[in-house]
Amino acid sequence: MTERRSPFYDYHLRNAGQLVKGGGDYMFPVAYTSGENEHVNTRTNVGMQDISSMGEVDIKGPGAERLVNRLVVNEMADMEPGQVRYTSMCNEAGGIVDDCTVYKFNDEHFMIVTSSGPRKHVAQWIGEHTYGASAYSTDISAAVALAVVQGPRARDFLNTVVAGV
């Protein structure tokens, strides 16, 4: 499998040193300090994690909301633009395809963020379910970088980067 690098790769290499393959085929740091120290820092302060290996599928078109409602187990019609909902996708036999996060931009534009490992399979599965939906899906994973910022001081940190968070 080819080694993939997130936009944070050089930073990881410079500051963490040891990288391992994770999230499919992406290279990630083992740790910057220690797992325990990073855990405590995130729980008491703020921490960031590179999750660029996750899959992102854009869904657009007049039937986008209907399609997303068909793909996931939660109701999406009551979401407002700008909202995000955690849910899962099940196959026709009721088995779980993946857990995911759904972002609603407007009634005709959604984005589904999938797990790292099955991202290619899930993007294909979503594409197979667009037939007749008046909507189309695009796997935009290669064009998207994701960083998660967590902890009680996350909002304070983000306010130093983006005003009004």
Please report, for the chain, the start and end positions of each structural domain, with discontinuous segments joined by +.
9-52+145-161, 55-143
Residue 60: its pLDDT value, please?
A: 98
pTM above threshold 0.85:
yes
Structure-block tokens of residue 154:
């996350």
22-79 per-position pLDDT tens digit: 776 888 888 888 889 999 999 999 999 999 999 999 999 999 999 999 999 999 989 9
3-state helix vs strand vs coil in the chain, percent to 5: 30, 30, 40
The CATH architecture of the domain made up of 55-143 is: 2-Layer Sandwich (3.30)
Q: What is the DSSP string of 47-93?
A: EEEE-TTSEEEEEESTTHHHHHHHHBSS--TTPPTT-EEEEEEE-TT
Ranges 84-88, 144-148, 160-164, most confident: 84-88
Residue 163: its pLDDT value, please?
A: 82
Residue 25: its pLDDT value, please?
A: 80
